[in-house]
Every structure is written in structure tokens, then in C-alpha cells.
Structure 1
């Protein structure tokens, strides 16, 4: 398929006019902060009368329209816009066409028709004049401009388009002033992935950058702000979704798995925002294409660098300096190649020393990390694309007596090829590595190395009306070496499982308002010799223009789980595959049944979107570690595997979520409330308990204010592209579960008639108590800059200096024992960030 020649034919009819739409005047247009864009979609790619979404990428504005009917949008004051048209705003959006336009006129409004009339090359100049009509593709025009096609419109508004519509002609009625619009590039995308699927939340890179954070935009923190997602503490960027554990979340970077993507102290997420597109997040009900996790999928795609209209080795670069880290990024575009590279390092140890000196903190910490991330994309033809990406991260922490170092590597290579209008083929080869070492003085050390080699391929078929069929096969090989040494006991275990996966899926648009997505995922894992089938289904119903109901459910299997040693949160996960014990017992994969539903109403009270969600899911065969082996001979045996010490746990979770958001206007933001129950029970005969990530209720709020800017601001900025904003994030939630202490006693040594001075604290029921409620307000007081040029922000963390409990223990060196509490982030008023683009 030829993106710009064979498949699409584009007619742009542009004309000046005094009255751009019925009832609007030139004076009205002049009062609008931007350029008034009036258009109509006439394109055979979309069915007559089909509902469409038109999105202005620069402003994020989305307009709902219908094929053949006029629409109106306000464009930011610039000479370049990207206008994308899709055939649905939910899971039916299989087709998208994007137009990149440069407007060189001087008027405050213009109009154009997007339609299918003639084959247009990659670039075209479209001018309106008082001359006679010119036939599209006219040989005279072609000889004058061999690389462009020209269409002229007369003052009456008649055009070369074969279609006529009274309302459209009135909309495009020409005036006396000349308008010139240059079509720089047309991109047609027959989407392999809809803009939004059932169960999926899309978080834009722009919204991530606008959220208050610890001086830097944070991908994971943006996900933690969603309802139903729990962040256990300030010191971790782990996520817990709808009652599931942290290891039940699948992180994908261009289809390569990234294990435990966390940096210490909750300051930074692993991924650099400059190098990614929007983030797709399934917090339940993900389709058959994704698996080996129970709770969620967070999918990030490496961004194509450079600009469509500029071919430069360094078309855009940036430097960012914040309180705790520095970051560089560059990107370019030459011919059929595009790339982006970003890197980051920290100097947090030096800054903590400074804060200790001035009395802001009392924390000595030896910690450092580095990140390197990039994407290279090459179009062999307009139908075949190669995408190579990489992420490399390394951390080191020394906090006496604790020492840790860990790191991630992810290197995916993706190939996509459109066979014809009905078929496309996709393949991924990926290498992932995760390693970590943890030592506690001379008492204990744990080493884990996990290497994953994965090959994935799938095809999409659209040859049957209203259906999109997907079929794929994946082969994953994991090599894991786990070593633990504690006192005289040493464990060394190597696992090498193969995991075969095949899946089929169909998206069936039953009618314009009903979409059914259903599929099966088949698994065979060699170490556990386990075969499993996972049915998945979801139904999306557009009740009317503004109301949508989604129902989804299915069965999920997870063959790679984290070993749970304690209820206290660990910094990283210690992954271990389902396998077979030395006694021949097959360890079953963890599993979950899920049923969930969401109701969404857009344009509630004009500018608000509201969502209500409910869910119920089971959790089965969760691995727990039971230290029941103390035989040195047995544990030192080369046949011994960690799974010999496994126990299992069963559980369930259910809850509901409420969300209300406003994304337009001089102020924007949202509020969400979630309430749920999560319960586990181990197979050792003890009573049920709340897992350490159980959070019965949580209230999250965010608010942004555009004080000054080009548009949607309280005050109009006199300089183009300038802005002054502020934002706020608030969280109030239940404290996390803890095991309270009942009391203490003096131990009597065996064989002695006297009590020693050694004190033992007597714990209560497991996780029967709770920490005090959590409350924190973060404020990005100043967010000022120029779009695409520079930005300075000042963020205050924990504005009210609220003491949020992290951990408590009894100091048994004192008599009586003294209860000590460790709190989370204090008041941090010096989170600064400056970034400059050049």
C-alpha cells in the first residue's frame, strides 16, 4: 500500500470567507484565541454518515463529527498543525488519517475539505484564487510542479470535489481574500491498535509533564494517580492494581518486558518521558494478546524522533536539570530514518548531604543511578517499518547495613509490514535482563539474574466487514539463576523454562454502537509441564453520543511470580518461574478470574467526563516462601530448588471506583475515589489476612490552572507560546496494613532458671492493624516557559508537612521497649527543574 499515492486521494479546497460558519462573523473569529478552522470530511475510506473523531494533536482538542457534515475547531496560533481523523473514539477505531498542514495566510480563519478525489503525492500546495477551476491532477499543474498537485476554488466556493452538499458549500463559501494552505505531509494509518480499547486508560505525555512530581515528569506516578491503583509508600514507585500484588503488572517497552522498573526513594520512574509516546494502561480486562500477568498491563512505545517537515540530524534536543538528577535528549529525522536518544543520571547523594547541612533532612544515603533510552525507526517502504529500541538502567544503594545493586536491560526489535489493505504482519525479537544483589551485613545475601529471550509474531486480518481478527504465536526462554546464603544455609538454583503461547482474537463491530472483543490464549510452560487456556471477552456499548458501557472479564495465568518473604515491602521483586520440585510436584501458575464493568459519561455538565467502575477477581496459587528446610545436606544438594520451600495462598478482591475529570478550559483536573477489599489466606492453616498492599479507600485529586497563555488561560499572553501554570495533587487514603504488637516479655533461656535481659516482642494477628491514614498535598507552584523552548518549575512536596507512617518497631534495647515510627517524605520545598530545548 502506498500511504500517500495508492490508498488515499486528497482534495483540499481552501478559501477565504467573511462568515466561516452560519451565524459566525469575522469579528467573532477575531475574538478567538487562535485560528478558526472549519472543515468537512469527504473520504471514501469512511462510510457515509459514520461517526468520526477529529483531533488537533497540538492542542489535544477532540471534536465529534459525521462524514459529510461540517465541524469547527480552534487551532493554536502557529503555522503548523496535525489534524487526525479516526472512525471511532473507542475500540472500533481501526482507521486513522492524519494531515500535517502549514498555513501561510494572514486571516483568522480558513476552511478545507478532506476528501477522496485524486492521488496526491507526499506534499501538495493548495491555493484558492479567482481563476477558473482546475481539474485535480491537471497535466498543466503537474508540469509546473511535478512534486505536487494543485486544486483551485473559485470565489463561489465550488470546487473540484465530485461531491456536493448545500451545508458544506455554505460552510466553505469563499470571500475576497486569498488563502494559501500548504499540505506538507499526509500520513494514513490503518491502526493495528485502536486509540482506546476496552479496559484501557491512555495517559498522554503532555499530561504527565504537567503533573506535580519530584521535579521530573514521572510515568509511573501518573499511573498511580488513577483510581484503583495503589502506591504503597513514598519510597517506592511500585503499583498495586485492584487488589493484586506488585509482580502481577506487566511492563512493556516496545513489546519487550521490563522487570521491576523502579528506582529507589520513589523519586523517579524508570522511563524517560522524552523518549515515549502516550502510555496505554490496562488495569483489568486486557485482551488475549497480553499475558503472564494477573492484574495490569502498562505499555509504552518508543517515540519516533524528529519532525515530519524538517530533516535534520539534530532537529530537537533538550537538557534538563532538577534538584536530584540531570537529563539530556536529542532526536532527528533524515530521509526514511528517525531517532530519539535520552539519558539521565543522579547526584542525589550530594543533594542529601546539602539538605542535611542546612537542617532540612536527617538522612545519610549513598545512592546513584543511570538511565539510557532510545528508539530508531526506519521505513524500508511505505508498507514496511523497522523499529529498534533500547533501555539500560543501573542502580546502586548503600545504606548501612544494607547494600543493593540492580539493573534492567530491554532491547526490542520490531518489524511491521502491511501485506495489503486486509492483512498486516508484525514481529518482535526482544532481549530483557534483570539482575539484583542484596546484602545485609554478613547475615544474608541474595543474588538473582534473570535473562529473557522472546520472539513474537502476529497478523491482523480485516477482510470481513466489521471484524478485525488477530492471531499470534510467542516463544519465550527464561534463564534464571537464584542464589541465597544465610548463616550456614546456601541455596543455588537455576531454572531454564520455555514458554509457548498462541492466541486468537476477534474484534467484532456488531453495529455502529456495539463492539464485542473475544479471544483465547493457549500456554505451555516446560518447567512446570503445564498447559493452560485463558478465555477473554469484553463488550463495549455506546448507549448514545456521550454514554458508554464496558463489560469485560476472563481468566488469567502467571507463570513467573515474585517470591514473597515478608509482609514488609521490598524494593525489588525476586522473580521465580513455575517449576517442578525435587519430589516431582508441579508448581501451578498463579491464576485469576476477573469480572468488571465501567460506565462512562462524557460531556457531563458540558465539560466533565465521569466514570463508574466495579470489579471482582479471584487470586489462586500465589507463591509464598515457607522456610521449613534447615538441613544443610538437603539445601546444599545440587538438586535442591527454591520451589521446595513454596507454600501457596488463595484470595479475592472486589471494589468500586468513581472518577470525574475536566480536561478543557482555564482550569482542569479531576477527582477519583476508590474503595475495595483484598483478602488472602495461606495453606498453612492460619486465618485469612489483609495483604500488605490492601488499601480499603483512597481519594485522589489533581488541579491545574492556566494563569497566562495563548489559549484556555485566564489572561492572554502577549507573546506567542508563552505560558504560566500551576498544579496541585492531593491524596488521602487508608494506611497500609501492619501486624501490631501485643506486648513483650523477658525470655528464659533453655536450661536456665533465671530470666535473661533479652526482650521478645509478642506480635498480634497478621496485618490486623493499620498505619495511620495517609495525607499529602504536592504543589507545582510555578510552571512557566515557552512551548517547545524552555521550562522552569518549582514543586513543593508534602505542603502541610504531614507525618505519614511508613514503618514501626519496638526498640528492645530499652526497658521498657520503646515504640519507634519511621515516617515518609517530610516537607520538601526545593524541588526545582529547568529544561531547555534547542
Structure 2
């Protein structure tokens, strides 16, 4: 990257009526000359702090007003519609006072001073590979307003600007750090959640990726005890979780305390809840994509350039990263001691729960750049949970190992992924019952992006996925095993066509063939984006989606994990079709309302067809226990639809930040067993969510801190929503039975209609009362869960052990003032 910047700090120029002070910012002049971008190629430049974006061309000057600060993040990309392969982001850290300086910034940092003033020298800062530039400042004549308003101005005379300040004071630019960071692009239909935002939100002791997604409008969390997500009326298995393009099945830990992914190893989260492009498939509702972060510092080479230790109420985590030569890496691990802490809480009278539970996570990324056009990336994730609750034993876990290769040649980008994934789970009840699943996935993916046609980005891809899926059930001496080995071929193409500066039309087609179901599936996708002006956007999405690997719906109760089963052919020769969905959605976005607020309004309608339901119609006999037994022989189907709208208002910067969103929706299913339509267990008619933070002290705070990087802030998360559907019990009666020649009274509970009842409304406030520390050095936080101690219903039942039977309910999280977290970076 070559940038030619001149920062004109807002100040009153001596003897001149014009002043940059009135502009409340710092004028930045730049030029992009990078071999990653073709000469004359159109580029987008975005200032992350303000969200301001402008267009430029390789080799031509551009200018933008930066906010008054000492640090800015500038991202340059060749397209706002393709992937992040041709995007470079720079973090500029400027320590100085009112000044004008000029420098050449390369991929490794400030390489030289373009010009020197009459006073000062150019040298190397102590302990830093970047340079120190000294330039005169005070009496520089600022550019006039006509230059400010003309982004095509090309005649920026840097030497003249510097020479004009030769009789002014000397100001030192102590450090410029340039970091090549891959920031998830804001593509149509996509929400981006940064790692920084995840860390600032109140959590159950530590930052949580999935909990941050649950705060978005249109996303439902069924209970406190789960990190599953339900998106726009879809089931939990309809969400595609990708870690560096490797699928991760059912990424949950027990009790909803933690999601599986470690924030230190990821570069943020890309989340599609509508209109995801043709590259992603085999799911109906959403795509949650996490990219492994390139570790280490860009400006220094060290084996352990940055490490950290984190200790929270229920878990401990270690992380380290480095950068040597062309190699960079990051690795993190986590384990829990929740069983011991619950014992302590029980002894203190805070909780009355005793379980033997533990989990471990290990996650990391290794990246090697052969040159600026060729990159190899190896990532891994493994996690395991073990829960013993006598006489119940449960374990489950995930493994994901993706290898990604990228190469650019001419107008083409070539990408390839080889991925291995495993998901397993076991549930044992003493030695009598053992039910479980073992699912292996081997995937090969490759795709090409072509930019050789003006205003078009073409994408072509092919995927081959092989699954080995075993479901087993051992009950006493009976053994049932069902092993399926589907092979899934996918061919897709997409064109992102910028009709003009205001319109972007993306259309694509995804072709599927899955051998077990003998199904050839076609998935058309399209989106249309209208940029009404610089701040207003209208987006429309439509598409047909298929899912060949579905979870089995055993009932209305939420299972700990999903049991995945592919579309197959039954023993009677019936081809099971994949689950299907048609989606129509529209969104209106307006940025920088009153220069601070971002507003989004969206509406959607979605159909759902061929959802697998389990209806056992055979007894467990030797015939059903044979090797020929297929679970698919007992499948029914369910059809349904969902619709709703969402409103969101956010403020991402400033001393007070956060957002509020409101959603209303309707979800209905109907099984083919002759029963009447019902609300699925994840149906949530309305939800109000709020998250807010206050920077008390520090950068961008109510009051600055005298120590650089120090901060003190607080944050709060609130949710108020309708209770989830439940099948209520209407009452009970005594039934007399003769057992061993004696009459006994047996209590029979009368069930109501399926999901016709509803839990009491849900309300919870979590407060991160103390969030104090120093950036990239240390942090201490104290979080209070369920501040108001509101009793949110989880489950209701009749306690038939009492006479007369008593109607009771189990609540979700109580008041928990014990969530603390300490982090230290070294």
C-alpha cells in the first residue's frame, strides 16, 4: 500500500481568514498505489470511525476529513460487493500536536519522509520499526473550501504545503503503525459484529460470540440455558455456522453460559439473516461466518508478540500469538471449573444446583504469505463437554479443521478450502439406554472471483461434501444403528452487477445433487440495492433455499443438541426431499441521523416445507433392530411459514453508545399427521432489546484519562419479550388400577393442545457495572445477571408426588451478582 497523506490539523492560520478549526477535523490527502490493485482500478475508501466512504482510483489523489483524534482506521477495497480478499485496512496512530506532515506509508509502516522541514531530522523511534518524522507547522495555509468539496481534485502540492510552514514550530510525529487487517465487508444482507463490540457487551463472565448475535433484531434465544439461535421463524438447525469455511454443528455449551468460539482468535463475525449469496447453502435461515484472525504485530516480528490470560467466575482462558517472517499465528484454549463454583454457590445459598460438568475449547489459526498474491491459512477448533447428573451421563463435542488457499492472478482470485468437521454426542442412562450420534463431514470447495468486466464481479464455485452419519440407540440388549453416507455436489455462479453508482443488482444460481435422495435441487437467489443517497439505502432480497442435512424434530421440548440426519431414500423406496424455503425480504437503512444514529427497518415473509418430524409407528422389535432399520422410515413432515418486521436504532460511537430494536413476528407449523396447525416452540410474537454503554473516562469518554489507553465504562443489556409457546396441562384425574390384586389410585395429567399455552412474558436486565482497564494491557469487569431477579418461566408441570397435585414451574436464571472476569495481556 502506498499512501501519500498530508494531515492538516484544524487550527487558525496566521494572517488568514480561512480556518480548518471550523471544520472540526483533520484534512487527509492520500493516494493509493498498490500492486494488489490494478492501475486505474476504482476503489472505495472507508473511515471506520465515521463510516464515511468515498470513491477514488488507483494513482489519483483523494481527500477526506478525519475526526479529531490520534488514531484512525482506514480501509481500502476494490469493491463493496465482493469478498475481503482485495481489501487492506490501516490503523494510523499519530502522537503529536497541531502540525502538517507528509509521509510515505508502506505495508510495514512509515518507510520514509517525503519532505523535511528546515528544522528537525528523520530517524527511528526507540523500540519501534517505524520512523520519526519532524515537520514545521503553524503558519501553513489551509486548503480552501472548494478543494474540500471536490473529491476529484488531483493537484495536491505536498512540498508547497510543507514549505509554507518553514518558520513555524517543530512538531514530532512519534509513531505511525500500519496494520493489514481483514475486516468483514458489509455486503448486502449482512450484519457485522466486531470483536470489540462483543467484548463490550455484558456476558456471563466473558465475551460471547453467540450471545452478541442473539441481541440482533429477528434473532430469538429460546431460554437462558441455551446459546441456540432461531432466525426469522426458522429452527435452530437452519443456521449455518462456518469457521474459516468449515461447518460447525450445534456450537453450544451446557447451561447457556458460553458459546464455543473464542473471541481472541476471530476477526469479527459476519451474519446473514436474509438474502445470503449463492456461495452459501444447505441451510434455510441464516449464515454465521467467523474468520480466524491473523495473529502477531504487523510492525514487529516476535514468537510471542502478544499473549493473555483470562480468569472468570466459571472458566479460564489462555491465548498467544506471533509473527515471524511471512508466518503469523494465534492460538487460544479454555476450560471450566463450573462444577466447583456451583458447589461454592450452593454452600453460600446463592444457587441450589449440583452437577458434575466440564468443557474444554482449543482454537487457533496459522497463516503463511508466500507473496502478496498467494496465501495459505490453516485453522482448527476442537471442543468437548462432559455432563454427569446421576444417573444421566452426557457428552458432546465439535472438531473443525479447515485449510484455505488463496491466489490472485490478473483479474482472477482463486480460493480453495479443504475442511474436516466432526460432531458427536452421547446420552446414557445407567447401562440401560445409550443414544447418540457420530457425524463426520469432509468438504472440498473452490471458487473464482473475476473482475475483468467493468462494474461486474463474477463468482463461480464448485463444492463436494461427503458425510458419514451414524445414529445409534442401544436399549438393554436391543441395538439399533442407522449409518448414512451422502455425497453432495454443488455448482454455483453469481454476478454482482453495479448498474450505476446508485444501483447494485446481485443474482445467482446454486445447483445441487445429493445421491442418497436422488434429488437435483435448484436455488435461484437475487438482491437489489438502491443507494438513495450517501446515507439512505433500500434493499430487496428474494431466494429459494434447500437444506439436505436437517435436525430431527422429536418433539416440542428443546433438546440440548440437534440430531442431524440427511435426506435419504427410505427402505420402501421413497425419496425424502430436502427442506425448502422461499424468502422475500426488504430493508431500509439510514445512516448518520443527526450525524450519530443508524436506523434499520425490515420486513420479511418466509415459507418452510419438508421439515423432518419423527413419528414412530413401529414397536421396538427384532425387526426394527435389524441392520436394515432406517430412521427415515418413521419420518413425517411439517409445513409452515413465518412473517414479521424489525426496527433498529443504533449509536456506535461516542461517550454513550448502544442501540434499541423491536421486532414482531408470526410463525406457524402444521404436521402431516392430521393435527391442527400450531406455534413452534421458538415462536416469539414480539421482542424489545436494548444494549447501551457509557464511557465514563478515557478516549471518547465523558472525561479523558491522564493515562493513554486507560478507560472506565459500564454497559447494560435489557430484553422484554413474549414468553415461548408451551403445551400446558389442563388438569388431572385419579384413575383406579388393579395391581397385584390391589386397587391403586394413579394420577393422570390431562394435556392441552400442542403449544397452545405460553410462558409468562420474559424480562431480564444484565449490567456490566464495572469495565475498567487499559487497552491491550489489562481489564477487570463485574457483571450482574438478572438485576431485578425477575422469575422467567422455563417449564411448567403438575407435581403428582404431592396430594393434591400441585401446579409448579421452573424458572430460568435467578439474580446472579457473581460474574467477574479479569484479563491481562503481556
For normalisation by structure 1, the TM-score amounts to 0.89
- How far apart are 1:181 and its partner, in Å? 5.7
Q: Is 69-78 or 269-278 further displaced after alignment?
A: 69-78
Note if contact 1:304-1:340 (Cα within 8 Å) is conserved in structure 2: yes
- How far apart are 1:108 and its partner, in Å? 3.5
Q: Does 1:511 align with 2:500?
A: yes
Note if contact 2:136-2:170 (Cα within 8 Å) is conserved in structure 1: no
- The alignment of Structure 1 onto Structure 2 pairs a total of residues equal to 797
- How far apart are 1:385 and its partner, in Å? 0.3
Partner of 2:440: 451
RMSD across aligned C-alpha pairs, in angstroms? 3.3
- How far apart are 1:236 and its partner, in Å? 0.3
Structure 1 residue corresponding to 2:346, chosen from 341, 351, 356: 356
Q: Is 437-446 or 742-751 further displaced after alignment?
A: 742-751
- How far apart are 1:86 and its partner, in Å? 4.1
Partner of 2:272: 282
Note if contact 2:8-2:28 (Cα within 8 Å) is conserved in structure 1: no
Partner of 2:581: 592
Note if contact 1:101-1:181 (Cα within 8 Å) is conserved in structure 2: no
Gaps of 5+ in 2: 120-129, 144-151
- How far apart are 1:442 and its partner, in Å? 5.3
Partner of 2:46: 54
Per-residue CA deviation, residues 429-480 of structure 1 (Å, 9 max, x unaligned), is 0000000001234553211000000000000000000000000000000001
Partner of 1:559: 548
Distance 1:652 1:500 in 2: 28
Q: Does 1:834 align with 2:826?
A: no
Partner of 2:75: 84
- How far apart are 1:74 and its partner, in Å? 3.5
Distance 2:8 2:650 in 1: 38
Distance 2:179 2:340 in 1: 48
Note if contact 1:126-1:183 (Cα within 8 Å) is conserved in structure 2: no
SS at match of 1:270: coil
Note if contact 2:132-2:172 (Cα within 8 Å) is conserved in structure 1: no
Distance 1:240 1:770 in 2: 17
Note if contact 2:394-2:425 (Cα within 8 Å) is conserved in structure 1: yes
Distance 1:472 1:266 in 2: 37
Per-residue CA deviation, residues 76-99 of structure 1 (Å, 9 max, x unaligned), is 546xx6532346767799954444
Partner of 1:136: none
Partner of 1:493: 482
SS at match of 1:357: helix
Partner of 2:124: none
Structure 2 residue corresponding to 1:770, chosen from 741, 752, 758: 758
Partner of 2:195: 205
Q: 1:131 to 1:786 in 2, by over 3 A?
A: closer
Partner of 1:135: none
Partner of 1:72: 65
SS at match of 2:51: strand
Q: Does 1:606 align with 2:606?
A: no
Structure 1 residue corresponding to 2:385, chosen from 395, 398, 401: 395
SS at match of 1:305: coil
Equivalences for residues 145-164 of structure 1 within 5 A: 164=154
SS at match of 2:622: helix
Distance 1:49 1:375 in 2: 32
Equivalences for residues 556-705 of structure 1 within 5 A: 556-705=545-694
Partner of 1:141: none
Q: 1:773 to 1:401 in 2, by over 3 A?
A: farther
Q: Does 1:793 align with 2:781?
A: yes
SS at match of 1:460: strand
Q: 1:94 to 1:322 in 2, by over 3 A?
A: closer
- How far apart are 1:172 and its partner, in Å? 7.7
SS at match of 2:624: helix
Distance 1:661 1:754 in 2: 69
Per-residue CA deviation, residues 308-344 of structure 1 (Å, 9 max, x unaligned), is 0010000000000000000000000001000000000
Per-residue CA deviation, residues 601-622 of structure 1 (Å, 9 max, x unaligned), is 1112331111000000000000
Q: 1:575 to 1:430 in 2, by over 3 A?
A: same
Distance 2:622 2:704 in 1: 77
Distance 2:722 2:299 in 1: 51
Distance 1:251 1:593 in 2: 20
Partner of 1:11: 4
Structure 2 residue corresponding to 1:470, chosen from 442, 459, 467: 459
Distance 2:186 2:566 in 1: 32
Q: Does 1:539 align with 2:528?
A: yes
Note if contact 2:570-2:632 (Cα within 8 Å) is conserved in structure 1: yes
For normalisation by structure 2, the TM-score amounts to 0.90
Distance 2:107 2:292 in 1: 30
Note if contact 1:391-1:410 (Cα within 8 Å) is conserved in structure 2: yes
- How far apart are 1:53 and its partner, in Å? 4.0
Distance 1:322 1:553 in 2: 44
Note if contact 2:134-2:170 (Cα within 8 Å) is conserved in structure 1: no
Q: 1:490 to 1:816 in 2, by over 3 A?
A: farther
- How far apart are 1:62 and its partner, in Å? 3.1
Distance 2:531 2:157 in 1: 27
- How far apart are 1:282 and its partner, in Å? 0.4
Note if contact 2:465-2:489 (Cα within 8 Å) is conserved in structure 1: yes
Q: 1:100 to 1:360 in 2, by over 3 A?
A: closer
Distance 1:368 1:549 in 2: 47
Partner of 1:129: 116
Partner of 2:127: none
Q: 1:794 to 1:185 in 2, by over 3 A?
A: closer
- How far apart are 1:63 and its partner, in Å? 2.8
Q: Is 485-494 or 545-554 further displaced after alignment?
A: 485-494
Q: Does 1:321 align with 2:307?
A: no
SS at match of 1:716: coil
- How far apart are 1:696 and its partner, in Å? 0.6
- How far apart are 1:20 and its partner, in Å? 7.9
Distance 1:236 1:49 in 2: 47
- How far apart are 1:741 and its partner, in Å? 1.2
Partner of 1:365: 355
- How far apart are 1:73 and its partner, in Å? 1.7
SS at match of 1:636: coil
Q: Does 1:378 align with 2:365?
A: no
Note if contact 1:99-1:183 (Cα within 8 Å) is conserved in structure 2: no
Equivalences for residues 750-829 of structure 1 within 5 A: 756-829=744-817
SS at match of 2:371: coil
